[in-house]
Structure 1
Amino acid sequence: MSFMYDEAIDGPLPAVDRTELAAALRTAAPGLELLTEREDLRPFECDGLAAYRTVPLIVALPSTVDEVRAVLTVAAARGVPVVARGAGTGLSGGAMPLEKGILLVMAKFNRILDIDAEAGIARVQPGVRNLAISQAAAPHGLYYAPDPSSQIACSIGGNVAENAGGVHCLKYGLTVHNILKVDMLTIEGELITLGSDALDSPGFDLLALFTGSEGMLGVIVEVTVKLLPKPRSVKVLMASFDDVALAGGAVAKIIGAGVIPGGLEMMDNLAIRAAEDFIHADYPVDAEAILLCELDGAHDDVEEDAERVGALLRESGACELRVARDESERQRFWAGRKNAFPAVGRISPDYYCMDGTIPRRELPRVLQGIAALSEEYGLKVANVFHAGDGNMHPLILFDANQPGEMDRAEALGGRILELCVEVGGSITGEHGVGREKINQMCVQFKHDEIEYFHAVKAAFDPSGLLNPGKNIPTLHRCAEFGAMHVHGGHLPFPELERF
């Protein structure tokens, strides 16, 4: 027996009248802000993966839990799908709305409710920006560790939905490792708490299951995060290489030596040049690759590890090794890496950001494979990634105004993800599956595994109304994979026809 969200509703949804639905929502929640005019709806037609666009039927902007509950109960009663959205910075189409659905925007849930410095925790609403948590905790000598490149804008609710990471996730973990508790509403409006303020809670670990579920199981209304003491000492090394494969090999040597850096990031020449031109981080623009290695902790430990890592980098073929002289230069080194995506956007009309994860030992092989695929498809690829944990972000450069280039970029992206699976990796590390990678889910997982995913979805959302068509492919889609492809933002998914 299979549990399919496209089989959970018999037949197509009834026609939804925007005016009538808006009236029902206002009756259920008189203070609820709604957007219904097309010019007001259009800014919400996509997330950070702008290639896929759909104007929603209605945008709801609740400011209280009761208003969120009202939206969900009205939607459930009428069979209207709901897509929850945070800051809209996601890169996999996970927050892309549905033409016949409600887009539930949680931007007004932007308050830090409490910081308990002694316990090392903070209670925050889902619309709070990632960076704002660390800024609020700074007077207590604390910070929130996960730091996606978009941390100045992305929201903690979206981080939980996608299980976001960042440049320091190698040592400090992903979002799932840095939260204690989530309060969420089911599609029926029931408030459920997953996890607890303690380090563990009885029963199944539903908090871990929920983290990374991309809005398919419930809507987040509050998150309790862990706060860590700021490291006493921090040092950043930048190593230059004249061969990308040598840089990849150095990563495995550092980890193999028992050193776990706070961050270990890699950029290839195309990314280096773009970032240097944009940020002026004093990067070596003639290098084929650079590694940024940050070490933190007690002063003596950092100094000892810096010497060990420096020796390993030289043994691995580094042609230049620099250590940040002060905090200003450390910040400048990281600014170049964290602004690599917008920097690449300055040198190409369009780019397609991928997100795959591989075993560290396979870095040289996969980098060589990406180079070969880049040549095969005739598109440049800039490589920027979290080298320490094997989370790669190849940026495929293309021009959507040139016939066929977007199709080639999508096809190249799919081949890169399939290469990641081939070497024992995954099609995503932190961006999620969303709409973007749903074909490659059919490569990553077997028939029975996908059935179990649908069973979990059905346990939380039996009517299949929360963010349908994302994350998990139907078995029919996987059977047809190869004949059905995503082209030019058009998504020929049979499971989405009713929406």
Structure 2
Amino acid sequence: MPHNWEVLERELRKFLPSKSIVCKRQELLVYDCDGLTIDRRCPPLAVLPETTDQVSKILKCCNKHSIPFVARGSGTGLSGGALVEEDALLVITSRMRAILEIDLANQIVVVQPGVINSWVTRAVAGEGFYYAPDPSSQVVCSIGGNVAENSGGVHCLKYGVTSNHVLGLEVVLPDGSITQLGGHLLEHAELDLRGAFIGSEGTLGIATSITLRLLRAPENVTVLLADFSTMEAAGSAVSKVTAAGVLPAGMEIMDSFMISAVNDLFGREEYPSDAAAVLLIELDGQVAEVSAGADKAIDLCQRAGARNIKRAHTLAERERLWNGRKSAFAAIGKISSRYYVQDGVVPRSTLPRVLKEIERLSRIYQLPVANVFHAGDGNLHPLILYKTDSSEVQKRVRDLGAAILKECLLVGGSITGEHGVGSDKRCYLEWMFSSNDLATMSFVRKAFDPNGLANPGKIFPTPRSCGESARRKVSLSTDDKQFRSDLDVF
């Protein structure tokens, strides 16, 4: 049954100012994609609330008319989670950008969902505190989106992902009611529904107030840059460092393709142009701890075959070493107007094998792949470059992405680490979970959203969204030879 958008719009105008309602198609086109960009769909209507009360009234209207809704923050997501695939109201939280409370005595800050990630640290840095989760897009991505996707970042190796730093959530449920999950304390007696909500990708409701945990800024920070003649040597260095008990704040690897792209972006040699891979290691803590850890990491990198190692002490030196890594996606954007990024996870020990397989698959599908990834926790971010948006090329791009994810699963990994499932990877979720597992997850979703109005069609595979393709039927229980044969015929 088609939705009556005129009736919904009239009801919304009773309590929302005109500036908060977007109904003209030329203005709605701004929201037709997210950071993934390969899929586009213009929403029929969008609203930009500024308060919890407004969000509550909006969702009550949707519930009254059985109209689905999709929440959107900054739109930087990389799994299609904020796309309006079917007719649904787009609820944009970017105007909810107030920092509501700063309590340094208890090391917490309370923010609205539209607050940009880097703003949190900026607000408390003068007092010696910071917010640890730091996605590469932290200067533009919002805390609400980070909560929805359970985002990570460079420093998640030591400090964990978003769920490790969110204490409480004020949530508007799909029927418009308001509830509190968690609170201001590290521990709570009740069932951890806060944990269930984080990473649910907008399928359980909309968070309108978020209580975050702050950390004391470390006494000392050192960054190392080691370059290698082979990717295998760089992977070996990662294994040696972690096996030795050294716990860096972050460990990042970039391959030769990405090194070349970064150097081209800056017009100078940010990283050694003849290196097959570079490894960035950041250590933080007390002075003696950092000094000893850096000395040990340098020795282990040299044993693994590092050619040269730079050591940065000052803030300016550290930022110079990190600058290229933080600009990696922008660097690829300069050489290719279109790219598709994936987000698989593998055990650290399998990094060399998986990277070799990605190189092989790149040749098979005749599509270049650049690699940059969180080496410490095996979270890969292969970027597939392509030139045209033809259906044939898009299919090849998606099939290559699927083949890479299957390789991740083959070695005991996962189809996502921090970008979420969304619409992009829902058809692959059953590769990891049984039908009973998926049904159990769906029960949780229905408990929050019995009418199925919140971000419909996302995360879980359905025959309508995925079809009964051969790709979905390939089993991970097949032997390795047959499994690779299946990959090659995508």
1:381 is aligned to 2:369 = yes
* 1:263 aligned partner, one-letter code: G
Query: Are residue 371 (structure 1) and residue 359 (structure 2) matched?
Result: yes
- Per the normalisation by structure 2, the TM-score is 0.93
Match of 1:362 in 2: 350
Amino acid corresponding to residue 232 of structure 1 in structure 2: E
CA drift of 1:198 comes to: 1.2
Residue equivalent to 2:181: 194
Distance 1:198 1:35 in 2: 39
Letter in 1 for 2:127: H
CA displacement, residues 271-330 of structure 1 (integer Å, 9 cap, x when unaligned)? 011112213462111100000000111011111111100000011111111112532121
Secondary structure, in 3 states, of the residue corresponding to 1:357? coil
Task: Give me the whole-angstrom Cα distance separating, in 1, the residues matched to 2:269 and 2:418.
Answer: 26
Contact 1:128 1:155 in 2 (8 A): yes
Residue 98 of structure 1 deviates from its aligned partner by 3.9
Contact 1:417 1:426 in 2 (8 A): yes
Which residue number corresponds to residue 379 of structure 2?
Answer: 391
Contact 2:431 2:472 in 1 (8 A): no
For residue 329 of structure 1, the aligned residue among 283, 308, 317 is 317
Distance 1:24 1:476 in 2: 32
Superposition deviation, residue 474 in structure 1: 2.8
Are 1:239 and 1:318, in contact at CA under 8 Å, matched by a contact in 2? yes
Quote the residue 2:20 is aligned against: 33
Query: Match for 1:434 among 415, 418, 422?
Result: 422
Distance 1:403 1:30 in 2: 41
1:195-228 CA-partner distances (Å, limit 9, x unpaired)? 1211111122111111100000010100000111
Aligned twin of 1:448: 436
Query: For residues 117-175 of structure 1, what are the alpha-carbon distances to aligned partners after superposition, in whole Å with 9 as ceiling and x for unaligned?
Result: 11111000000000000000111110000000000000000000000000011001100
1:412-458 Cα distance to aligned partner (Å, 9 max, x none)? 00110111111111100000011111111121111111111111111
Contact 1:87–1:154 at 8 Å: present in 2 too?
Answer: yes
* Distance in 1 between residues matched to 2:181 and 2:421, nearest whole Å: 23
Asked if 1 retains the 8 angstrom alpha-carbon contact of 2:221 and 2:313, the reply is no
DSSP-derived class of the 2:139 partner: coil
- In the TM superposition, what are the counterparts of 1:417-428 in structure 2 within 5 Å? 417-428=405-416
**Counterpart in 1 of 2:287?**
299
State the partner residue of 1:133.
120
1:442–1:478 Cα contact (<8 Å) kept: no
Q: 2:435 corresponds to which letter in structure 1? A: H
C-alpha distance in 2, partners of 1:236/1:392? 21
2:109·2:214 contact (CA, 8 Å) conserved in 1?
yes
The one-letter amino acid paired with 1:365 is R
Partner residue, 2:245: 258
Is structure 2 residue 55 aligned with structure 1 residue 68?
A: yes
| Residue equivalent to 2:486 | none
Look up the SS of the partner of 1:27 in the other structure: coil
Amino acid at match of 2:122: Q
Tell me: CA distance 1:341–1:97, structure 2 relative to 1, closer, same or farther (3 Å).
same
Read off the aligned partner of 1:342 and give its amino acid letter: A
Contact 2:128–2:217 at 8 Å: present in 1 too? yes
Q: Contact 1:32–1:63 at 8 Å: present in 2 too?
A: no
Q: Comparing 418-427 with 147-156, which one deviates more in the overlay?
A: 418-427
For each residue in 1:313-355, what CA deviation from the matched residue of structure 2 results, as whole angstroms up to 9, or x when unmatched?
0111111111125321210111110110110111123111110
Q: Give yes or no for contact 1:163–1:212 (8 Å, CA) kept in 2.
A: yes
Residue of 456, 462, 481 corresponding to 1:468: 456
Q: Which range is displaced more, 112-121 or 127-136?
A: 112-121
Deviation beyond 3 Å, 4+ runs, structure 1? 28-32, 475-479
Give matches, 1:161-200, under 5 Å.
161-200=148-187
Aligned equivalents of 2:20, 2:57: Cα separation in 1: 12
Q: Which residue of 2 aligns with 1:489?
A: none
Q: CA deviation at 1:17?
A: 2.9
Q: State the 1:20 CA deviation.
A: 2.1
1:147 partnered with 2:139: no
Q: Does 1:459 align with 2:447?
A: yes
1:46 paired residue number: 33
> AA paired with 1:43?
V
Cα distance 1:16–1:475, how it changes in 2: closer, same or farther (>3 A)? Answer: closer
Cα distance between partner residues in 2 of 1:394 and 1:98: 25
Counterpart in 2 of 1:216?
A: 203
Does residue 1:405 correspond to 2:389, yes or no?
no
Where in structure 2 are there 5+ consecutive unaligned residues? 474-490
Q: 1:199 to 1:276 in 2, by over 3 A?
A: same
Moved more, 399-408 or 136-145: 399-408
Selected match of 2:338 from 341, 350, 368? 350
Q: What's the Cα RMSD here?
A: 1.7
Identical-residue share of aligned pairs (%): 45
Deviation at 1:248, TM superposition (A): 1.1
State the match for 2:108 in structure 1: 121
The equivalent of 2:482 in structure 1 is none
Q: Secondary structure at 1:252's aligned position in 2? A: helix
- Asked if the contact 1:240–1:290 (Cα under 8 Å) also holds between the matched residues in 2, the reply is yes
Count of aligned pairs between the two proteins: 472
**Most deviating of 400-409 and 95-104:** 400-409
Bigger drift between 90-99 and 121-130 goes to 90-99
Pairwise CA distance, 1:57: 1.2
For 1:423, the aligned partner's letter is: V
Q: Matches of 2:11 and 2:107 in 1, distance apart?
A: 43
Unaligned runs of 5+ in 1: 1-13, 486-499
Partner secondary structure for residue 404 of structure 1: helix
CA distance in 2, matches of 1:181, 1:92: 25
Aligned residues of 1:358 and 1:420 also touching (Cα < 8 A): yes
